[in-house]
Structure 1
Amino acid sequence: MSDLDNLEKSSRRSAIISLIGILIFITSLLFASYNLFNSNKELRIVKAELKRSSDSLNRQKEAIAELKNRITGLKLDEQQLNQYLISLIESTQANQGNTLADGEKVDWSSIKKTIINLPSGKRKLALTIALLTTWKQIPFELGKNTPKSSFDSPGYIQYVLKQAGINITRNNTEPLSVTIMKRYKKVDNPLPGDLIFYKGQIGSFGFFYLGPGTANGQGTAIGTLQAAFPLGIYDTINVNTEYFPFIGYYRVEYD
């Protein structure tokens, strides 16, 4: 074979190899372009998903902020309601010529502040209901437990607790006051909304504790005792006597 033939064969091989290289390059370029296209498509999908997630997160943040504002508003409304009820009671008793809590050394301003600033819950609800019924000046009547007519002491406690979601079933074999005292634990340091019980001439009776009262008394309380003590707010220094000895404080587990 002549040198010319060898040169032609060598040239053809080089051409074929070059063509194959070009085809491989073009194929690689097309494959890379395809991958880049898919990557851009996936990137757009990811970006769109991230935007939807971001929009959803922003909406959730806005909803949470709105909920917080509503909760704050509800708390303010609750505080304003307590303040309004207390103002009504103060006005009512003043018009009747009575000193609120009927005590000489009751820090009523501090008690009001404590009640108004109590955290939301059944305890505060019970005190709100107690304040509302007190403003209505409901009379005392033995065996009664409804604001439509009258209350006795344990009947009033049963009514208020029921409105706050705590049911106390009357046991016909024992006085209601005994049933209530059996249900709750005796404590030394009461909280607003806990109970104070005394031994009565007919049966035991109790009040809702509001806060401190005159020294040597059991505090300022809300409730009723007898016809001479209709539903109202009293300093218990005027209750605890040899006729009505103090039994104790009882912790009401509201929540």
Structure 2
Amino acid sequence: MEKRAPRLQFTKEERTDPVLKNSVRRVQKAAAKANRAQAIIPKKTVFKRQRVVDPATGKITTHLKFEDVDKKKPSKLTHAVRDAPGNAVLMQFHREIRQSEDENVGVKAAHKSEEAAETGGRLVRSDHRSHKLKPYRKSAKAEKRLDRANLGYLQKKAARDNPQPSGNPLAHWRQKRAVKKQYAAAKRTGQFAGSAGKAAGNTAKAAKAAARESKRAAAFVARHPNGFLIAAGVFLVLVLLLNVLSSSSVLLEGALSGVTASTYPSTDDAMLGAEAAYAQKEADLQDEIDHYEQRHGGCDEYHYNLDKIGHDPYVLISILTAWHGGEWTLDEVRGTLSMLFSQEYQLTQTVETETRYRTETHTVTDPDGTTHTETRQVPYTYTICNVKLHNEALSHLPISIMNEDQVGVYSMYMSTLGNRPDLFPSSAYPNASTAKKPTEYDIPPEAMADARFAAMMAEAKKYIGYPYVWGGSSPKTSFDCSGYVSWVINHSGWNVGRLGAQGLCDICTPVSPADAKPGDLVFFEHTYDTDGVSHVGIYVGNGMMLAAGDPIGYSNLNTSYWQSHFYTFGRLPNP
């Protein structure tokens, strides 16, 4: 923990000195505020064991001594991990945007505005935890103010006791720097136990040494003016170079931090082992279905309604990593694998019974001894076994089993594939995700002339490149199709709440394709196994829409896929 600013004590002479009294007053005022800020930091009661030895008898007595101590400041690590998803997703998006900035001034300007908006969004997201840190921040700020006041007093006293030539700004600067350096060293080693006069005395030596060095430097400059100019030029070049390197290191550190946060932390053996274990469960399920009649015989007829068996291995590893909060081993996730499997797959059977009739022929002997045959309809019970396998889809589970923070982490890993596109090559894992870039499209300027549509696009474009997350409805979790459209329109003039695709369709007025205009919504059906409208996007004109696909981006409505699922255009009501 950083040392507190020293509380200087002043003599009567120091408090009344015309040169120092204002500085003394500032120090006393800053110290009072720092003490008040320190007093509101939450306390916790701890006890310490204290052993007391009676010198006469040698008997040892142990006492419990209770003390109130400051609680530790909450760590930032948890919040850094929590916020990493959205930040890593944004990092990937901005990286791609910057590649085209130099070619398009408009893109660059929009991008800068967008980054500013995202910065504001991150500040809003962090506001919920600021109340916990407020006492610590207030105290830290007060201590820094006291440090500045102390330093101001000591520099003022050093200037009084060791005046520098009025025409030599370099000497004044060296003196101030020397006092500041001595103050930091004395604070670090705890040398401020005495009065302010003693503290000032500790810095006086540094001030005098600085004065001597300034005089020597001035004399050297007077003797070698040309050499001084050359040295000054070299110094400025070095300062600029170091400044560039420092800025680059900060950018590099930020980039590496983002990459680290979005990279799967577990070992390859653990991740490949988890995928193999889950795949084995699916293989066992397939074997159960293949031999269902032999193992569950007794019915007359079997009907099968089976969803496809399979999963995306990147979804599995991203869920495990978000669920377990970081690195895990195969043994640690075996229970989670079973839980996920039971959530994804439900194999059920329903047995129906019917009364049916079959024709039976019987030989009947008449009273006179003759025989003949008779045909009869005999009832019997016929059983039909309906076997159903429902695959919920592994990617649908995060929103139902995780909290918002965990879904955000899952979203981050899916946006980067854990920075391991080599882990599950599609040749060996056909269902594995592949990194996809959003389709680029320039909306015509005449469309952006409509203020309402421009407001929609200002919000919608912020999230291009975000991954598709089933049930997602905010930048923190990322979005599904209806969550994305609901968010955009709720942040550009409307207030409709979180609606599904069908709900959005219900609030719109149907519009023919010939009359559709930018800002209308476009709806589709049967894009997955559900009744009614199943997908929605924002029409941007010229047969293009912006929607949450994989990832969020533009799509051409004239492709055979979208044409085969097209339902209608819809115009939103006035906000």
More strand, by proportion: 2
Higher relative contact order (CA 8 A, sep 6+): 1
TM-score by length of 1: 0.49
TM-score by length of 2: 0.23
